[in-house]
Amino acid sequence: MNGAQDLGGMMGFGQVAGEPEGEVFHADWEKRALALTIASGALGEWNIDMSRHARETLHPTDYLASSYYEVWIKGLEKLLVARGLVTSEEMAASSVLHAPRPTSPPLAAADVAPALAKGTPCDRPPQAPARFKVGEAVRTLNVNPSGHTRLPRYARGKRGRIERVHGVFIFPDANAHGLGPSAQWLYLVCFPASELWGREGDPALDVSIDAWESYLEGAAG
């Protein structure tokens, strides 16, 4: 969706403010927001693409006015309500009003390290040969889906070249909407800045995205 999360190429946000390496959190609530997000995710009630979609469907003014951990918490609240785990009334009242819904057991402290070390691999075995090969010219589709997509606006309808074939990966555009993994070939596609930004493009800049096969069509040359 063309939401506030799709920031590439926008202007007017000002300078980038660096920060020292040792500053992991800036307030205690950020620690709790991180931990709650990870531990809630471990219930298996949603996947990472659903999480991203919950965040990007915040109202654009809300998204842009929120710090990133605030975005996470607001997204988490939406997921919890959508899954029937917590109700809006409970959040408003800050107290439990309904019995918990049965779920898988909560993540135990002893399982945190192994769960984090294992992660959630998103690659899948190929079921068909890759359509494109390294070096081939491709064009990204000019699409504007109302649902989740990982094809940023600045890279739609653009001509680039396949630089690597990453393998077959879960397709977020489907997975975010409960339509299953629908795994597809994933490619590294590289564009010269002039293709993305026209005459303002830095002549010594290339930008790449990772693009699923259905984002791409063949391009002459």
Partner 1 sequence: MGSVPPPIGGDNHAQRHDHDDGGLADIELRVRALESLMIEKGYVDPAALDAIVETYETKIGPRNGARVVARSWADPAFRRWLNEDATAAIGSLGYSGRQGEHMTAVENTADVHNLVVCTLCSCYPWPVLGLPPVWYKSAPYRSRAVIDPRGVLAEFGLRLPASTKIRVWDSTAEIRYLVVPLRPAGTEGWSEERLAALVSRDSMVGAGLATDPASLAGEAAA
Residue 26 interacts with partner 1 (CB under 8 A): yes or no: yes
Can you tell me the distance from the alpha carbon of 26 to that of 8, in angstroms, rounded to the nearest whole number? Answer: 26
Residue 5 interacts with partner 1 (CB under 8 A): yes or no: yes
CB of 31 to partner 1, least distance (A): 4
Residue 199 interacts with partner 1 (CB under 8 A): yes or no: no
* Near partner 1 in 137-156, by CB under 8 A: 150-152, 154-155
Residue 40 interacts with partner 1 (CB under 8 A): yes or no: yes
Contacts of 9 (CB under 8 A, 6+ apart): 153, 154, 196, 197
Among 9, 126, 180, 218, binds partner 1 (CB under 8 A): 9
CB of 206 to partner 1, least distance (A): 5
CB of 128 to partner 1, least distance (A): 19
Nearest residue to 79 via CA among 55, 110, 115 = 55
DSSP assignment letter at 100? P
* Near partner 1 in 82-111, by CB under 8 A: 85-86, 88, 90-96, 100, 103, 106-109, 111
* Near partner 1 in 156-195, by CB under 8 A: 166, 169-170, 172, 186, 188, 190, 193
Contact 26, 78 (CB under 8 A): no
Helix (H, G, I), strand (E, B) or coil at 162: strand
CB of 111 to partner 1, least distance (A): 7
The structure tokens listed for 160 are 């680039």
Whether the CA torsion 24, 63, 197, 192 is positive or negative: it is: positive
CB of 218 to partner 1, least distance (A): 20
CB of 204 to partner 1, least distance (A): 5
Can you tell me the distance from the alpha carbon of 93 to that of 159, in angstroms, rounded to the nearest whole number? Answer: 52
Contacts of 47 (CB under 8 A, 6+ apart): 175, 176
Q: What is the amino acid identity at position 47?
A: N
Taking the least distance from each CB to partner 1, the nearer of 27 and 137 is 27
Among 146, 200, 220, 221, binds partner 1 (CB under 8 A): 200
